[in-house]
């Protein structure tokens, strides 16, 4: 009962209730919350610290930034949502906060649109070399179970498209990516899609900040051809999969378009079926025959595998923390 009393005490203050309401609408930094509330950063930080210690908010770092959102897990997560829902919708202070929040989100959208427009040409060039993305997405939807997937991890999430695609099938979605610019685009896309149960994080696919056996499904969508050590990325993903969980690997079949290395930073010119299935087996996965989607000149392959009880193995040790 003590944890419940601590949570109620932490929330029993006007500014902290406003913070809970704002963080229920998306992931926000201290700077953004300070702009919305019109209060000093030290004061806002103190309020956020109390809410996090009480388990009502979650905090995570992304480079020099710290983001806050309403708690999604833990004993007081349901209480946090109940408190937010109990705030009157016609409250004048809340209405003003939400107006200022809309301005923050508009600025995010403009920044994301600018980055996307500056880089869209190279993405469209790659897409023109293989089958339409709608065909790839249709195949993905057919390969992931419609039931039993509560937690989905999208490795190398990019614009967050995979989370959008599976958003209505899952309880919780997490996308990780090494690019802050891409994460900014993903946040905007997920917000516009209304997928508040999905989130994105700055992360390293070789050292996922997740406990073992915490995910029901993991997807690599056009990621591994950028990887220095694809086998290690697969092994790390297998580590976080629950027994019986599903992994989907989408990438190119082996090809000879050497210019993709220089112009598009591809580390690998696709993969053979033997390579990928070998990595999956060594990671404790049971692979199925690959689905191939022939294109001109690139063929897209989708490898589906199920996690067995065997532990994943690595070809190199983790770096020291």
Check whether residue 45 and residue 176 sit in a common domain.
Answer: no
Query: Residue 319: its pLDDT value, please?
Result: 40
CATH number for the domain including 254?
Answer: 3.40.50.150
Check whether residue 188 and residue 263 sit in a common domain.
Answer: yes
Say whether pLDDT at 157 is over 60: yes
Q: What is the pTM of this model?
A: 0.75
Check whether residue 60 and residue 161 sit in a common domain.
Answer: no
241 inside domain: yes
134 inside domain: yes
Check whether residue 73 and residue 134 sit in a common domain.
Answer: no
| pLDDT bucket at 63, cuts 50 / 70 / 90 | low
- Where do runs of H (alpha helix) occur along the chain? 2-11, 14-23, 30-37, 41-53, 77-86, 92-127, 133-143, 161-166, 180-192, 230-240, 259-264, 273-282
- Contact by Cβ (8 Å): 60, 201: yes
pLDDT tens readout for residues 179-195: 888 898 899 999 999 99
Please count the structural domains in the chain: 2
- Kindly report which listed range (103-112, 204-213, 230-239) carries the lowest average pLDDT score: 103-112
Check whether residue 86 and residue 170 sit in a common domain.
Answer: no
Q: 78: domain range?
A: 2-100
Check whether residue 86 and residue 152 sit in a common domain.
Answer: no
Query: Residue 117: its pLDDT value, please?
Result: 66
Say whether pLDDT at 48 is over 90: yes
109 inside domain: no
Say whether pLDDT at 74 is over 70: yes
Check whether residue 138 and residue 179 sit in a common domain.
Answer: yes
CATH number for the domain including 12?
Answer: 1.10.10.10
122 inside domain: no
* Mean pLDDT confidence for 66-91: 86
């Amino acid at each position: 009962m003590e944890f419940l009393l601590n949570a109620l005490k932490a929330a029993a203050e006007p500014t902290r209730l406003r913070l809970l309401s704002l963080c229920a609408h998306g992931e926000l930094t201290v700077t953004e919350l300070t702009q919305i509330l019109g209060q000093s950063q030290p004061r806002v930080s103190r309020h956020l610290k109390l809410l996090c210690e009480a388990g009502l908010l979650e905090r995570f770092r992304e480079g020099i930034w710290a983001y806050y959102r309403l708690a999604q897990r833990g004993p007081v997560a349901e209480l946090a949502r109940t408190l937010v829902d109990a705030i009157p919708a016609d409250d004048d202070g809340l209405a003003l906060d939400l107006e200022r929040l809309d301005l923050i989100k508009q600025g995010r959208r403009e920044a994301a649109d600018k980055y996307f427009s500056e880089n869209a040409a190279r993405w469209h060039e790659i897409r023109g070399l293989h089958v339409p993305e709608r065909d790839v997405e249709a195949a993905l939807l057919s390969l992931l179970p419609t039931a039993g997937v509560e937690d989905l991890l999208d490795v190398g999430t990019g614009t967050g498209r995979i989370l959008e695609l599976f958003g209505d099938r899952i309880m919780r979605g997490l996308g990780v990516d090494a690019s802050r610019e891409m994460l900014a685009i993903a946040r905007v896309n997920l917000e516009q899609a209304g997928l508040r149960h999905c989130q994105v994080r700055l992360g390293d696919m070789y050292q996922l900040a997740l406990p073992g056996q915490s995910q029901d499904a993991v997807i690599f969508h056009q990621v591994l051809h950028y990887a220095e050590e694809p086998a290690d990325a697969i092994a790390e993903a297998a580590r976080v999969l629950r027994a019986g969980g599903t992994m989907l690997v989408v990438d190119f079949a082996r090809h000879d378009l050497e210019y993709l290395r220089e112009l598009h930073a591809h580390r690998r010119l696709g993969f053979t079926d033997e390579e990928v299935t070998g990595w999956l087996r060594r990671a404790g996965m049971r692979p199925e025959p690959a689905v191939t989607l022939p294109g001109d000149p690139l063929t897209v392959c989708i490898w589906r595998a199920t996690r067995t009880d065997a532990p994943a193995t690595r070809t190199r040790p983790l770096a020291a923390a």
